[in-house]
């Protein structure tokens, strides 16, 4: 009996070590996949370039035309990485806070808020160009996200269900407003329809610099909240008994998700299903630890988005299928699978 008791701690330690090693190997594999996605994003487009040509560009010995083509892909690649990180981590936070595998940053009305702000700025205040769109979409997304949280958490009966209902109501109202403005002003509709699909192309590094501070703030907040979210997953009573505040954790998580989603939406437009699909993929490798989930989301999210963008560029060459359309095609089956896997009463 004594031998058995002594063997158990060692066995547990070995199991934990093996689990940690698997996480490290999986994360390394994810980083390799992300590196390949970045390389593919730089190589492929309406004009395909070989790996040797890319190396020549990096070495400064390439043809000027090839250099221009390759360098023009840097901004969209960087934006793809940023948007993928933001959307994936925001989705992970939302599903953890709501304890619902179908939770998505869109529940907070962030996409609708960004779209309404873009339409308002374009129609009534002369906003135009990339910078103009970003500086309208970003505050609009954050304002609506915080408004939905304020409505859903105020008064008696506040909770996750009320938060979702508040997001649905605000989204419906803003959608009606957007349709009224765009249908009455065709010129506004012409500019809005390109933004609302979601695309990485046609943007430069100024857009990235505009949203980067907000994205970094959201990411840092998510990392700080990760240990507390692990306790929240045990239930409110268990979290409280461990010294955590469920209300504060949910509020902080929603603020982080809002900052991340608003940054991505302002930069590249609304892109569906990344925030929904990536957490399901990540949990298969990272388990229930939110620290590991956030780390894997920061790798899997941009890899998925960049590969989707590359697919959209090559499938209709020389034309381009916007990445928002590609992710919708990919995300639809994932949503169906998640619905079928949901337990009754979740």
How large is the C-alpha radius of gyration of the chain?
Answer: 22
Short-list 274, 261, 178, CA closest to 217: 261
> How confident is the model over 307-315, as a mean pLDDT?
91
pTM of the model: 0.86
Distance CA 43, CA 49 (A): 5
Environment class of 43 (CB within 10 Å of its CB; exposed 0-12, middle 13-18, buried 19+)? middle
What percent of the chain is predicted at pLDDT more than 70?
87
Cα angle 41-276-95, degrees, rounded to a multiple of 5: 135
pLDDT at 4: 46
Mean pLDDT across the chain: 83
For residue 131, name the pLDDT band (cuts at 50, 70, 90). Answer: low
For residue 166, name the pLDDT band (cuts at 50, 70, 90). Answer: confident
Over the stretch 250-308, which tens digit does the pLDDT of each residue have? 888 888 988 998 889 888 888 888 888 888 888 888 888 888 999 999 999 999 999 99
Cα angle 74-76-79, degrees, rounded to a multiple of 5: 110
Cα angle 312-29-285, degrees, rounded to a multiple of 5: 95
> How confident is the model over 206-211, as a mean pLDDT?
89
| pLDDT of 67 higher than 60 | yes
pLDDT at 167: 85
Which domains does the chain carry?
Answer: 34-63+271-346 (no CATH), 104-198+210-263 (1.10.3470.10)
CB-side neighbour CA atoms (13 Å) of 112: 24
> How confident is the model over 123-137, as a mean pLDDT?
74
Whether omega for the bond prior to residue 312 falls within 30 degrees of 0, making it cis, is no
């Amino acid at each position: 009996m004594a031998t058995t008791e002594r063997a158990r701690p060692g066995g547990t330690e070995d199991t934990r070590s093996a689990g940690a090693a698997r996480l490290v190997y999986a994360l390394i594999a994810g980083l390799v996949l992300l590196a390949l996605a970045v390389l593919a994003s730089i190589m492929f487009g309406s004009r395909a370039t070989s790996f040797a040509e890319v190396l020549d560009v990096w070495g400064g010995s390439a043809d000027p035309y090839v250099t221009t083509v390759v360098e023009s892909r840097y901004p969209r690649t960087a934006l793809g990485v940023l948007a993928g990180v933001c959307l994936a981590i925001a989705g992970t936070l939302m599903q953890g806070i709501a304890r619902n595998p179908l939770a998505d940053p869109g529940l907070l009305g962030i996409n609708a808020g960004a779209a309404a702000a873009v339409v308002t700025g374009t129609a009534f205040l002369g906003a135009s160009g990339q910078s103009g769109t970003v500086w309208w979409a970003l505050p609009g997304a954050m304002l609506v996200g915080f408004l939905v949280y304020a409505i859903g958490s105020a008064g008696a009966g506040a909770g996750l269900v009320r938060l979702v209902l508040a997001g649905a109501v605000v989204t419906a109202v803003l959608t009606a407003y957007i349709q009224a403005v765009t249908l009455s002003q065709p010129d506004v509709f012409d500019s809005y329809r390109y933004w609302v699909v979601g695309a990485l192309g046609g943007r430069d590094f100024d857009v990235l610099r505009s949203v980067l501070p907000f994205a970094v703030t959201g990411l840092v907040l998510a990392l700080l909240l990760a240990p507390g979210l692990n306790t929240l997953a045990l239930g409110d009573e268990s979290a409280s008994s461990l010294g955590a505040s469920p209300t504060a954790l949910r509020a902080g998580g929603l603020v982080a998700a809002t900052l991340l989603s608003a940054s991505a939406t302002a930069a590249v437009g609304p892109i569906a299903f990344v925030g929904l699909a990536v957490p399901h993929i990540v949990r298969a490798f990272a388990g229930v630890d939110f620290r590991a989930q956030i780390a894997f989301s920061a790798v899997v999210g941009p890899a998925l988005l960049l590969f989707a963008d590359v697919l959209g560029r090559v499938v209709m060459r020389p034309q381009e299928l916007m990445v928002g359309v590609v992710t919708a095609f990919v995300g639809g089956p994932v949503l169906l699978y998640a619905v079928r896997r949901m337990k009754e009463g979740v």
